[in-house]
Amino acid sequence: MKKKVLSVLSLSIAFWMNAQEKDSLNKNKIEEVVITGQYTQQSINKSIYKVEVIDAQQIKNMAATNVADVLNQSLNIQITPDTRSGNSTANMMGLDGNYVKVLIDNIPVVGDTGLGSNIDLTKLSLNNVERIEVVKGSMGVEYGNGAVAGVINIITKKSNTRKVSVRASLQEETVRDNYDLKKKGNGRHIQNLNVDYNIDTNWFANVSLNHNQFMGYEGESKGYKYFERDNKRGFEWNPKDQYDASALIRYSKNKTSFYYKLSYLYEKFNFYNPEVNRIPLNDGMGGALYESIDREYNTKRWGHQFNIQTHIGNIRYMGDFSYQNQDRKYHDYNYDIPNRAVRISREDRSYYKTDVIYSRGMFSNFLNNKTFDFQLGYELDYTDGYAALIAGDFFGEAVKRKIFTYSNFLSGEWNISDRLSVRPGARLSVSENFDNQFNYSLSARYKASENSNIRAVAGTANRFPTYDELYTYFVNINHDVQGNPDLNPEKGFSAGAFWDQNFTANDWKIAYSINALYLDVRDRIEMVLVKDPSTYKYMNMDKYRNMLFSANVDFRKDQISLSLRSSVSGTSVSMNGLYHASPTDYQYLVQAGASANYKLKSAKTAFALYYKYTGPGRNYVLESEATGFRLGKTDDFHMMDFIVSQPFWKDHMELSVGVKNIFDVTSINTTATAGTAHTGATDRLNLYYGRSYFARLIYQF
pLDDT in tens, 552-570: 999 999 999 999 999 999 9
Q: CA distances (Å), 198 to each of 105, 192, 262, 321, in order?
A: 21, 20, 18, 24
pLDDT at 246: 96
The torsion angles phi and psi of 344, rounded to 5 degrees, stand at -135, 130
Q: Is the Cβ–Cβ distance between 217 and 178 less than 8 Å?
A: yes
- Provide mean pLDDT across the span 622-639: 87
Angle at 551 between CA 549 and CA 557, to 5 degrees: 170
Gap between the Cα atoms of 463 and 491, Å rounded? 7
The model carries a pTM of: 0.91
Is the pLDDT reported for residue 487 higher than 60? yes
Gap between the Cα atoms of 622 and 672, Å rounded? 10
CB atoms within 10 A of CB 344: 11
- Provide mean pLDDT across the span 169-186: 85
Q: CA distances (Å), 570 to each of 19, 52, 160, 519, 578, in order?
A: 39, 21, 44, 10, 26
Is the pLDDT reported for residue 644 higher than 50? yes
Q: Give the lowest-confidence range in 9-13, 447-451, 639-643.
A: 9-13
Q: CA distances (Å), 393 to each of 210, 299, 390, 527, 544, in order?
A: 31, 17, 6, 17, 29
Quick one: pLDDT band at residue 481, thresholds 50, 70, 90?
A: confident
Strand partners, 303: 263, 324
Residue 388's nearest CA partner among 684, 113, 573 is: 113
Most confident of 105-119, 131-145, 277-291: 131-145
Ordered domains of the chain (ranges, CATH): 161-700 (2.40.170.20)
Residue 149's nearest CA partner among 171, 117, 119, 174 is: 117
Gap between the Cα atoms of 563 and 550, Å rounded? 13
Angle at 129 between CA 136 and CA 243, to 5 degrees: 110
| 20 against 79, higher pLDDT | 79
CB atoms within 10 A of CB 209: 18
Gap between the Cα atoms of 631 and 431, Å rounded? 39
Gap between the Cα atoms of 137 and 94, Å rounded? 12
Torsion of CA 45, 47, 50, 52, to 10 degrees: -70
The pLDDT tens digits for 55-72 are: 999 999 998 989 999 999
pLDDT at 82: 80
What single string gives the DSSP state of each residue in 171-235? Answer: EEE-BTTB---STT--SEEEEEEEEEEE-SSSEEEEEEEEEEEE--B-TTS-BTT---SSS--B-
pLDDT at 4: 39
- Provide mean pLDDT across the span 176-195: 86
Q: Is the Cβ–Cβ distance between 502 and 45 less than 8 Å?
A: no
The pLDDT tens digits for 33-50 are: 888 888 788 888 888 899
pLDDT at 28: 38
The pLDDT tens digits for 342-354 are: 999 999 988 888 8
Gap between the Cα atoms of 634 and 689, Å rounded? 18
Strands 535-557 and 480-482: parallel
User: How would you write 600-654 as a 3-class SS string?
Assistant: CCCCCCEEEEEEEEECCEEEEEEEECCCEEEEEEECCEEEEEEEEEEEECCCCEE
Is the pLDDT reported for residue 211 higher than 70? yes
Quick one: pLDDT band at residue 680, thresholds 50, 70, 90?
A: low
Q: Is the Cβ–Cβ distance between 135 and 102 less than 8 Å?
A: no
Q: Give the lowest-confidence range in 284-298, 390-404, 415-429.
A: 390-404
pLDDT at 252: 96
Q: How long, in residues, is the chain?
A: 701
Quick one: pLDDT band at residue 400, thresholds 50, 70, 90?
A: low
Peptide bond into 616 cis (omega under 30): no
pLDDT at 8: 38
State the DSSP code for 466.
P
Mean pLDDT estimate for the chain? 87
Gap between the Cα atoms of 239 and 594, Å rounded? 32
Gap between the Cα atoms of 470 and 639, Å rounded? 38
| 506 CB-near residues (< 8 Å, 6+ apart) | none
Handedness of CA 124, 128, 132, 138 (dihedral sign): negative
Is the pLDDT reported for residue 412 higher than 80? yes
| 580 against 25, higher pLDDT | 580
Is the pLDDT reported for residue 668 higher than 50? yes
- Provide mean pLDDT across the span 372-388: 85
pLDDT at 474: 67
pLDDT at 39: 77
